[in-house]
Amino acid sequence: MSEREDRPVGKVFLVGAGPGDPRLLTLWADHLLKKADVIIYDRLVSEEILSLVPEGRKMVCVGKTPGGRGPSQEEINELLRREATEGRIVLRLKGGDPFLFGRGGEEAEYLARHGVDYEVVPGISSALAAPACAGIPVTHRGIGRSVAIVTGQTCDGDLEGVDWEGISRSCDTLVVLMGGTRMGEIVEKLVAGGRSPLEPAAAISWGSTGRQATVRTELGSLESKANEAGLTSPLLLVVGKVVELGQRLAWREKLPLHGKRVLTLRDPRQARSLCLKLADLGASVRNVPAVRMVEHWDPAQDRVVERIRDFDWAIFTSPNAVTFFLDRLMERGKDARDLGSCRIAAIGPGTGKALAARGLRADLIPENHTTQGLMEALTNVCLGGGHVLLCRSNLASPHLADFLRQRGAEVEEVHPYRTEIAHHPDASLIRSLKRSEVDVILFTSPSTVDGLLALLNRRKELLTGVVLGCIGPVTDKRAREWGLAVSFTAKDHSEDGLVEALLEHLKEAPGKTGGEGA
């Protein structure tokens, strides 16, 4: 066998991350985020997308800062080659599309020259996505039949290398990427090239994200109007008659949570559902895990599983309890059929949905989705002499078990998972709060409250002015025990109820932020 055949085989994927909204990732890109050993990403790849990467993966940021500091292209090329030749699956993650002003072609050339296997995964370019999210179709019958895409920033800083006159005269719609820092010069060159200073034009900042902001005006006044509006990079320009359609077709900035930067604190495996619901309403969502769910089993709990047919009732107090317990049931060679005639109680609709997803229907779900509500619902159930399985987190209070025993039930508890609370401060999150980059924080359990305070090194003053929402009264109580000023608490103690409560709070006090936070 040759030396080359002895070497481990790696591969580089040049992947487009899209314009920023994680919902605009391609299915293949989303799959590769979870499969890759190493993720090498640019500065403008959004935190929401990076949060999808599983823990334990090697993450390398190679994006240049606004001052130009960062690895050279030659260093990035060599990093890709080295990681792949050491046998790793390498994901080179770029904003937008890797072959549209992303230097993906240069990286592909380098890899091909050195015999490194690679694949290109196209992404949605902001050149199309940002105008679309601002209600501007870059082509439209009878108005714009051609479109040109040009960069407003070259590696040598020389705008003269672009044929501005030819581009100005040859297309109906012009999209200029990375045009914010030299907008005035670009406008001058377009006008000199034949575009009218009165032509409709737009500047779009952070297109497709919850931070999107758009200015529509005339080409000649575009720079001044964009500066007045405080638009910041990443920013692109659109010039052409199609811009006028944005007055009628704009949609993203009308979403009820547009402009709101929301922080969730869940375990990464269960964060996505809530994050997507918030993103669908226009929010910019970031999940920073304040808690993590870890499978936890011991021989005593496995003995309970072996006797699963002996129970009269099985009570689940969270969706996680359902997932981890039923997974263990399967691992032990059993399945839902082994619950036999056992009746099932779920603390709320979320837990009920988790059961339904596994082919089980809850016999009892209390109207009040709390431990107290569950105890009240069980008051009318004959438990005397019954054998009850109580499946819940290691952090759950003893009240429910005590209640069941007082009712004459024989109770066996299992904790199929442990809730581990964050212990160390998160410097990135602290910086975001210092810069007032978080508008809303949503607590989904008492442990997320504890975890957030750990992430902030107990600096409660960082939460001043932030809207704080709680999923239910138990979580509300924990937040107030910490001295936090809770802005609202959901009446329906579920994900949907929490989102609805946030919308209601913002409707009642649209200009109002959170309390003192301490």
Class of domain 261-290+422-508: alpha beta
Is 10-123 a CATH 3.40.1010.10 domain? yes
Residues 308-357 pLDDT 10s: 888 999 999 988 899 999 999 899 898 888 887 899 999 988 899 999 99
Residue among 287, 285, 289, 305 nearest 297 (CA): 305
Residue among 347, 325, 342, 335 nearest 386 (CA): 342
pTM: 0.83
- For the cut 60, the answer to whether the pLDDT of residue 516 exceeds it is no
Residues 73-83 pLDDT 10s: 999 999 999 99
The whole-number pLDDT of residue 335 equals 85
Residues 1-39 pLDDT 10s: 344 445 567 999 999 999 999 999 999 999 999 999 999
Q: In the beta sheet, which residues pair with residue 144? A: 140
Is 294-420 a CATH 3.20.20.70 domain? no
- For the cut 60, the answer to whether the pLDDT of residue 233 exceeds it is yes
The whole-number pLDDT of residue 515 equals 42
Common-topology check for domains 261-290+422-508 and 294-420: yes
Q: Is 102 helix (H, G, I), strand (E, B) or coil?
A: coil
For the chain, what percent of residues have pLDDT higher than 70? 95
The whole-number pLDDT of residue 158 equals 65
Average pLDDT over residues 226-233: 94
Class of domain 128-253: alpha beta
Confidence of residue 518 (pLDDT cuts 50, 70, 90): very low
Quickly list DSSP for 245-313.
GHHHH--GGGSTTTT-EEEE---HHHHHHHHHHHHHTT-EEEE--SEEEEE---HHHHHHHHTGGG-SE
- For the cut 80, the answer to whether the pLDDT of residue 153 exceeds it is no
For the chain, what percent of residues have pLDDT higher than 90? 67
**Hey, where are the domains in the chain?**
10-123, 128-253, 261-290+422-508, 294-420
Catalytically active residues are: 42, 64
Alpha-carbon distances of 103 from 38, 97, 143, 220, 320, rounded to whole Å: 19, 10, 32, 31, 43
